[in-house]
Every structure is written in C-alpha cells, then in structure tokens.
Amino acid sequence: MRLELHKVRIENVSWGETTEVRRGTLSINREEMLAVAMEEPRFAHAELEITRPGESVRIIPVKDVIEPRCKLSGPGEVFPGFVGGTCTVGEGSTLVLEGAAVVTSGSIVAFQEGLIDMSGPAAVYSPFSRTNNVVLVVEPVQGIDQHSYEAALREAGFRLAWYLADKSREAEVDEVKVYEMEGPVKESFKYPHLPRVAYFCMSITQGLLHDTFLYGADMKHLVPTLIHPNEKMDGAMVSGNCVSSCDKNTTWHHLNDPIVEELYERHGKDLVFLGVIPTLEDTRLAGKERTSSFNANLARSLGADGVVISEEGYGNPDTDLCMNAAKCEKLGIKTVVISDEAAGTDGRSQGLADATPEITAFVSTGNVNEMVELPPMDRVIGHDGSISNLSGGAEESLREDGSMFVELQAIIGSTNELGFSRIGARWV
C-alpha cells in the first residue's frame, strides 16, 4: 500500500476574493466558506475568524482541530464516512495544507472542552498556537439536543477542512512524503530477523459525547480491528470527543500521529511495523475485559513481539491501559505504555487511577493538574466564561481583567498521549 502526502506549507492565512494558496498564503473567500458551513440546518448562526501564531488571541471552548486535506488520486476521500463514501483510504495521493487548521467552537455540549492561546504561556503547550487557524464559531437552533449539536459541529469541521484543501488543488507542492508498506504477513517475511511491533491506539469510546469514529462508525459499537498505518494518516480515524482537552486526540492528532511516524521510520531497520489496532475504552468492566482480550489475541495472531500502547484520557481508561499491558505481557509480548498523569497540583499523588505490576515501561506525557497562569488576550473568540465548566477550570478561574488561573488540562493538546506535546524528557 502506497500513500503520497503532497504537502503545501501554509505560512499565513487571510480573507480574499477567492479561496486558494499563493506563495505560502492561504487566501479564503469568507462568504463562500461560511455558506458551506451554513449548509448545516442545525446551525442558527455561524461566524468565521482567523488567528495566526503570535497573536494575542484566545479561542474557547474548542471542540476539534482538523488539518485541511483532500484526495488527489486513489480510492475514497479523506474523512471517509463523513466526506464522500466509506471506501477504504490509505492509497494514492492526498493534498495536505500543512500549517493550517480548521478549529470548531461554540457554546458546546459538555463540560470537558478546552482553549487555545495563540501567544503567552499556554501557547507553549499547544501545537495549535503554531498553526494558522480558521475558527468556526456556531450557535445551534433552539431545542437541539446535545448529541445532534455535537454531530453537526463535528461534520461541519470535516466539510470545511475538505473545502479548503479542495480549493487549493492547483497550489505548488513543497514536499511529497511517501509511506509504502505491505501487510503484516509480507513485511514479516521480508525482515525475519527483526522484532515485530504492533500499535494499540486506545480511544475514548464511552458514549455521553465521549466518542471516536472509524470510517464513520462509532467505535463503541465495534470490536478491536487491524488497519494499515496509511489508513490512519488518511483520515480513517476522527475525533468525536467532548473530553478533557489536554489529552484528547483531535482529528489533527490522528492525521499526524507521531507514534505511526516513528514506527514507520524504524520499519525495516530495527523493527517490523505490523499495523495499528484502533481499540476501545469501555466504561463497563465486562467491556474492558472483552476488549483487552481481543487486543492481546490480535497481537498474538500477528506474531507481535512487542506492542506500543497509547492511552486517551485518564481515570476510568487507566484500567483499560493496565489490562492491555498485563494481558500482552502474560502472552510474552513486551509492552510500552504512553499516558499522562493526574498527580495533583503538587505532583505528589498517584499518577494513574489503576496499576498493574506488568507495566514496566511507562512514558509519561505530563501532569494534567499542574497549574498555569494565563494573561488576558486582546481578542477572545468564543465564550471565555465557559472556563467555569471546563476540566481544569472553575468559576473563579476567569478574573476581571481576562486573565486565568487553570490546570494544564484546560489547554488543548498540552499532555497529548500520542506524545505530540512540548512536555518530555530530553537528552542534554
């Protein structure tokens, strides 16, 4: 399977007469893009705003972040199940507007969303302070239920991300990155002397607006399965989460998964990358037992010698993490787990809500409870009063001058458990 990502680097974004890319600037016809958003009958009102790195801007609350992409060739379309049909993706060529993002926002649906600051202390922690963002802010029609509102905003974000890429097909490409690999059987035969490694991508699938989608299907209704790494990078997995923002995997994170990138880079050199197993985080004990058993059995059937396991969220999913590691280790499959920690504001509490002696290789992406002081911004997009309902915030978090005192978990992507964050240990 061969996937080419045709990357167009976006250095700036602005409003213009036509939507196109020229010399690194994404120009957008605001009225045309807004009309695409307002095709959604569940929106009473919508606005579009632009933010650039370094500006004194706060976006709150943020629902999802999506990198603009569209297929140039090959089967299917990016974000299958939402844009185009449900044909499998991961082959052909895909246009990527690297450095641009669609951010969805509104008076959202649940108590667990987050913020993006384009400058200041919070900007250090979020990758989206360094992207040129087109922000969709909506108000739903009266009487809409939370699930319909979430679905409308989620789907609109995918349409707008596709629209921006589709209008940029003639742009000059800066880089073509190729990802090519056969299935696990053939690759294992190619490199019989190398250890075989699979990747469990744990995903929030708990219902109550805590969802992840695979080819448009709500994963909480599925059992774990195997996909080619190219499928993940081509939009097969997308976010539907209203969860703590620090470690939620936005759609942008799924498209740019650093674990997939690193395993691909090492494939054929010091390991065989067997593929990605998108897997569930159930709220029920029986569901956790079933899913973790499926995962371990899949890894064994693939002939895996090792598994990388990334968590999404914390608390209840910590038990899924422990079960996945323990069951693989008991089958002789070595594991490395990646998670953040909820260790209290002083960092002295137990990092995970569960534990198991089989976890012997643990990568921490930070403490979600660490407190940070955020200065006021010149412009606020959205509703800054929503900080009182966000994880990591409280009613007293927002001060009269617009400054905030919050936990890291209020910042989108600050402790992302795919490892896409600025927190970590580094060789010096």
- Catalytic residue positions, numbered: 242
Q: Using CB atoms within 10 A of its CB, is residue 285 exposed (0-12), middle (13-18) or buried (19+)?
A: exposed
Q: Using CB atoms within 10 A of its CB, is residue 170 exposed (0-12), middle (13-18) or buried (19+)?
A: exposed
> Could you write out the three-class secondary structure of the chain?
CEEEEEEEECCEEEECCCCEEECCEEEECHHHHHHHHCCCCCEEEEEEEEECCCCCEEEEEEEEEECCEEEEECCCCCCCCCCCCCCCCCCEEEEEEECEEEEEEECCCCCCCEEEECCCHHHHHCHHHCCEEEEEEEEECCCCCHHHHHHHHHHHHHHHHHHHHHCCCCCCCCEEEEEECCCHHHHHHHCCCCCEEEEEEECCCCECCEEEEECCEEHHHCCCCCECHHHHHCCCEEEEECCCCCCCCCHHHHHCCHHHHHHHHHECCCEEEEEEEEECCCCCHHHHHHHHHHHHHHHHHHCCCEEEEECCCCCCHHHHHHHHHHHHHHCCCEEEEEEEECCCCCCCCCCCCCCCCCCCCEEEEEECCCEEEECCCCEEEECHHHHHHCCCCCHHHECCCCCEEEEHHHECCCCCCCCCCCCCCCCC
Instruction: Tell me which residue of 288, 282, 236 sits closest to 257, measured CA to CA.
Output: 236
Tokens of 160: 């707008």
Alpha carbon separation from 270 to 230, 262, 265, 338 (Å, rounded)? 20, 12, 10, 20
Q: How far apart are CA 4 and CA 74, in angstroms?
A: 10
Q: How far apart are CA 33 and CA 48, in angstroms?
A: 8
> Do 78 and 157 meet the contact criterion of CB atoms below 8 Å apart?
no
